[in-house]
Amino acid sequence: MNAPPLEAVASVVNLTVRYGRFTALHDFSVQIPNGCVGLLGPNGAGKTTLLKTLLGFVKPSSGTATILGKSVLKEGAAVRQKVGLMPEQDCHLPGMSAIEFVAYAGELAGMPQAQALRRAHEVLEYSGLGEARYRKVETFSTGMKQRIKLAQALVHGPKLLLLDEPTNGLDPRGREEMLKLIRDISLHKDVNVIVSSHILRDIEKTCESVLVVVKGQLKMQGSIKDLTRIQGHPIDVELKDPSPSWQEAVSRRGISIVHTERNKVRVHQEAPTEVTTKLIFEAARESGAEIRGLNVATKSLEEAFLEVIH
């Protein structure tokens, strides 16, 4: 098997996973890069199966997968020691306080008892549960349960964190805080993150790149920037007031008007962005229009996602 490139946190090669006659993943290959990666796909696309396989829960019919250079199939336990899972469902151990639960999760991961306890205090503080550490987990609110799932996934210092719908059931403030935590973990704590979420805005806010899985195959992979880029690099221009004379002036310069919405105009020209920008400003000077904003036009992640899956 080819060794994954250094920047790949996980590598999947020709992976086929079947449940009876149903093929969940078909000849699936992907190099998952370092950083924060979003896992997108419609229901039944194979995201679940991919995560299950990476954790060694499911044995593939063929193909291989490695995480951080270790074979998922041959060294499942060693892989899981370097991976943290924050599952979608509520999960805790009944009758345990938060500190006991997280420390126990650390011990299960292989930490010595004293280290696990010390570290549990640390991650509970970091996750915002410092003051609730001695409360029984079953008495926690939904938001707190999300946080403790993150804490138990982080306790042993994983190199890869799998987050499954991390903002499920959170109120807007809790959601923002959770996204901020995820962003902080991936950017400043040297932890690679794979976020599986149906909320595309969450992915947009936290991830640098995405994988789109459709019908058991990798449909698209790339940075969010690439995914949301519109072909031909159109430019969105925001004018102070609607200006037909400016539109005429840009048209004379060979720039086509894609669409107009009051004072916002999207223009396009088969030329480098710098050239088009220069012409836009020339037209504004000529027509006396005032430009308030100018951006390279992008699609929303949702639009891009829908385009990819259809």
Near another protein by CB under 8 A: residue from 111, 129, 150, 289:
111
Angle at 142 between CA 138 and CA 145, to 5 degrees: 55
How far is the CA of 53 from the CAs of 64, 86, 177, 206, 233, in angstroms? Answer: 10, 15, 30, 24, 38
CA proximity to 263, closest of 279, 277, 284, 278: 284
Angle at 105 between CA 101 and CA 108, to 5 degrees: 135
What residues from 51 to 70 belong to the interface with another protein (CB under 8 A)? 51-52, 55, 57-58
* Residue with Cβ nearer another protein (149 or 175): 149
Which of these ranges, 126-134, 219-227, 249-257, 279-287, lies near another protein under the rule CB under 8 A?
A: 126-134
Question: Is 156 an interacting residue with respect to another protein (CB under 8 A)?
Answer: yes
DSSP codes of every residue in 236-280: EEEESS--HHHHHHHHHTTPEEEEEETTEEEEE-SS-HHHHHHHH
Question: Is 152 an interacting residue with respect to another protein (CB under 8 A)?
Answer: yes
CB-CB contact of 218 with 28 (8 Å) = yes
User: How many residues are there in the chain?
Assistant: 310
| Phi, psi dihedral angles at 282 (to 5 degrees) | -60, -45
Give the Cα separation of 126 and 189 in Å (integer): 12
Question: Is 125 an interacting residue with respect to another protein (CB under 8 A)?
Answer: yes
| Residue 218 tokens, joined | 């990798």
Q: Is 24 exposed, middle or buried (0-12, 13-18, 19+ CB in 10 A)?
A: buried
Q: What's 136's DSSP letter?
A: B
Question: Is 6 an interacting residue with respect to another protein (CB under 8 A)?
Answer: no
Q: Is 54 exposed, middle or buried (0-12, 13-18, 19+ CB in 10 A)?
A: buried
Near another protein by CB under 8 A: residue from 20, 22, 89, 262:
89
Give the Cα separation of 231 and 250 in Å (integer): 20
What is the nearest approach in angstroms of another protein to the Cβ of residue 244? 52
Question: Is 135 an interacting residue with respect to another protein (CB under 8 A)?
Answer: no
Q: What's 49's DSSP letter?
A: H
Near another protein by CB under 8 A: residue from 3, 20, 21, 94:
94
What is the nearest approach in angstroms of another protein to the Cβ of residue 71? 14
* Residue with Cβ nearer another protein (76 or 242): 76
What is the nearest approach in angstroms of another protein to the Cβ of residue 117? 12
Which of these ranges, 7-15, 118-126, 224-232, 274-282, lies near another protein under the rule CB under 8 A?
A: 118-126
What residues from 184 to 213 belong to the interface with another protein (CB under 8 A)? 189-191, 196
* Residue with Cβ nearer another protein (110 or 293): 110
What is the nearest approach in angstroms of another protein to the Cβ of residue 286? 56
What residues from 161 to 180 belong to the interface with another protein (CB under 8 A)? 162, 164-165
* Residue with Cβ nearer another protein (212 or 237): 212
What residues from 26 to 55 belong to the interface with another protein (CB under 8 A)? 47-48, 51-52, 55
| Sites of contact with another protein (CB under 8 A) | 47-48, 51-52, 55, 57-58, 76-78, 80-81, 83-85, 87-95, 104-105, 107-112, 115, 119, 121-123, 125-126, 130-131, 138, 152-153, 155-157, 162, 164-165, 189-191, 196
